[in-house]
Amino acid sequence: MTSQSTLKTGSSSQTTALGFALGKSIKKGVFALFGDLGTGKTTFAKGLIAGFTGIPEDEINSPTFTILNIYGSGVCHFDLYRLKDSEEFLRRGFDEHLDGLAVIEWAERIESILPKDAVRITLKHAGEKQREITIR
Higher pLDDT: 115 or 129? It is 115
> What pLDDT does 1 receive?
42
Determine the residue type at 47.
G
Domain spans of the chain, in order of start:
5-135
First to last CA, the chain: 10
Residue 67 near residue 78 (C-beta atoms within 8 A): yes
Q: pTM of the prediction?
A: 0.95
Residue 105 near residue 42 (C-beta atoms within 8 A): yes
Question: What is the CATH code of the structural domain delimited by 5-135?
Answer: 3.40.50.300
Q: Quick: pLDDT tens for 41-69.
A: 999 999 999 999 999 999 999 999 999 99
Q: Quick: pLDDT tens for 83-123.
A: 999 999 999 999 999 999 999 999 999 999 999 999 999 99
> What pLDDT does 74 receive?
86
